[in-house]
């Protein structure tokens, strides 16, 4: 990887767009703006251009972009992005290259996150790493020896659109997911999924952030919501351990800031893992909100 050159790494999220000038994996300077998810395609692309303009310096090597959706990596076309529907069908690669006359690489945000943390982050040196995004949506990326595992269909790690494992009676048939299925992991483990679960049990509409704050004040209803969330997260990750058997699982996204997850979830997942011991480590990200942008820069210019 030619990481001695300066690149722009951009993490386009459902809530915010983070971008940074990256050299040797280090963020030299960073900018963050809200994602205009309710606006049209032109407004979203304009926001990406504006954040590049804020960071643009001479002699850039290129631009890496991570998005929370499925990507045709060779063409740089986003073909399924529920959190930012205006970008569906857009060739970000072609659009950004034309504007800035720089090579552009586009990948899934969870792949970017996993690469960042596996390269020199919380999972540095681990042979097999599963990077998890739990925020507006639920995604995942796999790194083997520091390199992303893309897969034949470019969907490696997309655990969010499998059914919640070991479902309980009151969890069936599950909420309708945008992908067309019911009971997907994303409908339970995303921020909106936590809010929906709390509403179902309390008839009170709260954001995930509000629920977490109440739980920290020992509010019983909020604590019960977190107990259910932790068990579901344990079940979902146990199914990953049973298939991939990763050395480290790194959590990212807004819900990764819930400190109690790192103790409680491993205490629950052993009952679902098909082994007499579980040595997989569950860890928070080392690079926090910068990981997606760092990973987008790290990924470029890996061959696809």
Assess contact for 61 and 7: CB atoms under 8 A.
yes
Please calculate the CA angle 139-141-143 and round it to the nearest 5 degrees. Answer: 165
pLDDT of residue 110: 94
- The two tokens of residue 196 are 């929906």
Give, to the nearest 10 degrees, the angle between helix 92-100 and helix 41-55: 50
What's the Cα-to-Cα distance from 263 to each of 128, 190, 191, rounded to whole Å?
A: 21, 19, 20
Alpha helix segments (H runs only) across the chain: 41-55, 92-100, 109-120, 185-189, 191-202, 208-216, 220-244, 261-269, 291-299
For 24-73, the pLDDT digits (tens) are: 888 999 999 999 877 789 999 999 999 999 997 888 999 999 998 889 98
Phi, then psi, of 3 in degrees rounded to 5: -85, 0
Residue 97 CA to residue 176 CA, distance in Å, equals 37
Dump pLDDT digits (tens) for 121-150.
Answer: 999 999 999 999 999 899 999 999 999 999
Here the tokens at position 99 are: 């504007």
Mean pLDDT of the chain: 93
Please give the Cα distance from 262 to 242 (Å, whole number): 19
Q: What is the mean pLDDT of residues 216-224?
A: 98
Distant-in-sequence, close-in-space partners of 228: CB < 8 Å, separation ≥ 6? 197, 201
- Tens digits of residue pLDDT in 229-286: 999 999 999 999 999 999 999 999 999 999 999 999 999 999 999 999 999 999 999 9
């Amino acid at each position: 990887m030619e990481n001695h050159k300066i690149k722009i790494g951009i993490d386009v999220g459902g809530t915010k767009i983070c971008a940074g000038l990256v050299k040797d994996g280090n963020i030299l300077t960073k900018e963050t703006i809200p994602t205009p998810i309710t606006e049209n395609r032109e407004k979203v692309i304009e926001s990406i251009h504006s954040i590049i303009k804020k960071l643009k310096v001479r002699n850039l090597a290129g631009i890496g972009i991570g998005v929370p959706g499925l990507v045709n990596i060779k063409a740089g076309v986003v073909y399924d992005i529920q959190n930012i529907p205006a970008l569906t069908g857009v060739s970000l690669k072609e659009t950004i290259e034309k504007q800035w006359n720089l090579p552009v690489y586009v990948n899934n945000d969870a792949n970017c996150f996993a690469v960042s943390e596996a390269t020199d982050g919380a999972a540095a040196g681990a042979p097999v790493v599963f990077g998890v995004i739990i925020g507006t949506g639920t995604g995942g990326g796999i790194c083997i020896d520091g390199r992303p595992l893309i897969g034949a269909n470019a969907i490696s790690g997309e655990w969010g659109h499998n059914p919640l494992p070991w479902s309980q009676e009151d969890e069936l048939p599950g909420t309708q997911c945008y992908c067309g299925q019911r009971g997907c992991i994303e409908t339970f483990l995303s921020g909106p999924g936590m809010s929906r679960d709390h509403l179902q049990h309390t008839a009170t509409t709260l954001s995930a952030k509000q629920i977490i704050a109440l739980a920290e004040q020992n509010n019983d209803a909020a604590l019960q919501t977190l107990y259910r969330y932790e068990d579901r997260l344990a079940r979902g990750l146990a199914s990953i351990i049973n298939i991939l058997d990763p050395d480290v699982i790194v959590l990212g996204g807004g819900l990764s800031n819930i400190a109690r997850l790192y103790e409680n979830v491993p205490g629950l997942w052993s009952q679902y893992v098909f082994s007499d011991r579980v040595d997989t480590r569950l860890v928070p990200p080392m690079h926090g909100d910068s990981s997606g942008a760092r990973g987008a820069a790290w990924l470029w210019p890996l061959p696809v």
